[in-house]
Structure 1
Amino acid sequence: MTPLPDFFESPLHLPFNSTSMDGFTLLPPDLEPPGTDGWWLALRSNALLLSEKGSIIDLPYGPCPADTSDSKSIFIGTWQGRPVRVMAMNQEEDVPSGFVLESLLSANPRMQPAHLSLGGLASQLLHWEANSCFCSRCGAALQRLPGEWGKKCEGCHYLHFPHIHPCVIVAVRRPGEILLTRKREWAPNRYSLVAGFLDPGECLEEAVAREVQEETGLRVKNIRYVGSQCWPFPSQVMTGFTADYAGGEVVVEEKELEDARWFPINALPDLPPKRSIARYLIDGAGAEAGTRDAGRGSRKP
């Protein structure tokens, strides 16, 4: 059973956001305290190495729990007053005795929200490290800037900082129904919401309207911001919206989607896990519809 809650008070409390990291402080790598034991975030792809004692799994603490022959650890900050270091595990390395690999993308992860969120941050920072060795302008090597996460090109001196890519995701509604889409590679009967990256020169609301029309042929109105979620796979921030149906018939954009259709809010297919802002928006649409229906039922003619 997952220790994640079945309900999140707001998008702010969703996993992968800093609020879920329970007091973690991000610090630049060059501020690592020398010779101090701490927590380890060791990753193999999107799986986090955790210590396992009976039914209890936890972050490793103390000496490095994995082989460091091909990977250098990186200090990223402090958690519970102790240093936190990340490292990428060798793909062929055996899992050490007393440890287990747990996927960060599991629908029902066994780890605590703080562990899941810290693992996501580790994945995002390792992605930045792996893709920031050389300058994208001139090809020269990059050197870390002291006291921050940026890097400076040795050749043209251009400054580089971790890339975060803004995306929109939207729950489109009409009375009693919600618009859901699915991609071919998803699990059978799994549906989610229209989502996509921003284009140059558009604001978030414009991206919502464009993505809905491109993927489904529908027009929307009353676009309203709900909240956001860091999505570190590898480096997105998902900005969540609701919108009302304004017109058109569903026409599926088959290059991206396998299906798109209206579903009754009380008869939904398989949905994204509750750790995602997609599910938060879908659940919110259902709760709002239920409130409206209850309100109508209480009115006297």
Structure 2
Amino acid sequence: MNKPYQKPAQDEPVWWFVISAGDILVTDDKQIPHGYLSELPMPDLREYKTVFIGELRERHCYLVIADFGDTNFSAVGDFISVRELITKDDDALFAMAARAKQVADFLATHRFCGRCGARMQAVDWELAMHCHSCQHRCYPRISPCIIVAIRRNNQILLARGKRHPEGLYSVLAGFAEAGEALEQTLAREVMEEAGVNIKNPRYVGSQSWPFPNSLMVGFVADWAGGEVRIDPFELEEGGWFDINKLPRIPGEGTIAHKLIMRVKAEIDQERNSES
């Protein structure tokens, strides 16, 4: 069993996911540092918390937590937003980067016990923080969130959120509440945000979304009735768009883009079968 605080062997080429204030270190050619520690211009990592976080392409992956504004890694490259890795055609790499960011956030926010206030200590055999005062133990938080593309004939329902860039439209999304099944979350969120009913939900896939700790669970569903009434507290505008006349949508690599393309593929397939 791999322990979270084990150290890599000197002759072991590994992936180095260095996180500083939520940003990630990349080399000058925008790659995650990889290789033997002795061959990389890294600072002395004995001064940093290092955590084993898994494997990527049969190589071990390590999280290194750096301070905000740390310049000791400047010889390796620069820190960028983890979001910038989404554009790369490498889902596995983004997933590991997401894990690194979430683990770093977890360790930074669980130094003290939320139950009694005592200092917490890292568990050496699993990724957890433990309070020896009241025996409270915490694990990295994961917040499940549904994201759904809704189809009506040859149209798709898209909306622009309050935090979206001007002109960018996406599918609907929302967090699961305590005690809810995901099917219930789907129905509730769609009704709250758009005022419509849905039917025939189909699971498509999921994506870790470390902003800060979401797990996006993606569906496609069919419109079942109701007129669109956009929630003004969460959305700027929205409505039905012809699948071949889409506005600006989220880029490739995001699950939102994947869901929109799934709806387009369904419509194209039906059109082809009718011709």
TM-score where L is the length of structure 2: 0.86
Which consecutive residues of structure 2, in runs of 5 or more, have no partner in the other structure? none
- Does structure 2 conserve the Cα–Cα contact (< 8 Å) formed by 1:182 and 1:257? yes
Partner of 1:14: none
From 258, 263, 271, the counterpart of 2:236: 258
| Secondary structure class of the residue paired with 2:84 | coil
Note the C-alpha offset of 1:78: 4.7
The CA distance in 2 between the partners of 1:146 and 1:100, in whole Å, is 31
Greater mean alpha carbon deviation, residues 112-121 or residues 227-236:
112-121
- The reply on whether 1:49 has 2:25 as its aligned counterpart is yes
Partner of 1:125: 103
Distance 1:27 1:184, change over 3 A: same
User: Could you report, residue by residue, the CA deviation over 1:46-83 in whole angstroms, capped at 9, with x for unpaired residues?
Assistant: 4321223xx57441431572586985333334556654
CA RMSD of aligned residues (A): 2.7
Distance 1:222 1:58, change over 3 A: closer
Q: Partner amino acid for 2:50?
A: S
Distance 1:173 1:67, change over 3 A: farther
- Does structure 2 conserve the Cα–Cα contact (< 8 Å) formed by 1:103 and 1:109? no
From 266, 270, 273, the counterpart of 2:248: 270
Note the C-alpha offset of 1:147: 1.4
From 199, 220, 224, the counterpart of 1:246: 224
From 33, 42, 53, the counterpart of 1:65: 42
Q: Percent identity?
A: 34
- Does structure 1 conserve the Cα–Cα contact (< 8 Å) formed by 2:53 and 2:99? no
| Secondary structure class of the residue paired with 1:31 | coil
Note the C-alpha offset of 1:44: 3.0
The CA distance in 2 between the partners of 1:173 and 1:250, in whole Å, is 13
- The reply on whether 1:30 has 2:8 as its aligned counterpart is no
Which consecutive residues of structure 1, in runs of 5 or more, have no partner in the other structure? 1-25
Partner of 2:270: 292
Distance 1:238 1:108, change over 3 A: closer
TM-score where L is the length of structure 1: 0.80
- The reply on whether 1:87 has 2:64 as its aligned counterpart is yes
The CA distance in 2 between the partners of 1:66 and 1:178, in whole Å, is 50
Note the C-alpha offset of 1:115: 3.7
The CA distance in 2 between the partners of 1:248 and 1:132, in whole Å, is 45
Looking at both structures, which has the greater relative contact order when contacts are Cα pairs under 8 Å and sequence separation is at least 6?
1
Distance 1:66 1:179, change over 3 A: farther
The CA distance in 2 between the partners of 1:93 and 1:201, in whole Å, is 42
- Does structure 2 conserve the Cα–Cα contact (< 8 Å) formed by 1:36 and 1:83? no
Note the C-alpha offset of 1:107: 7.3
The CA distance in 2 between the partners of 1:89 and 1:175, in whole Å, is 51
Q: Partner amino acid for 1:284?
A: R
Greater mean alpha carbon deviation, residues 69-78 or residues 196-205:
69-78
The CA distance in 2 between the partners of 1:128 and 1:171, in whole Å, is 31
From 118, 137, 143, the counterpart of 1:165: 143
| Secondary structure class of the residue paired with 1:237 | strand
Note the C-alpha offset of 1:194: 0.7
The CA distance in 2 between the partners of 1:224 and 1:255, in whole Å, is 28
- Does structure 2 conserve the Cα–Cα contact (< 8 Å) formed by 1:169 and 1:196? yes
Q: How many residues align?
A: 270
- Does structure 2 conserve the Cα–Cα contact (< 8 Å) formed by 1:40 and 1:60? yes
| Secondary structure class of the residue paired with 2:193 | helix
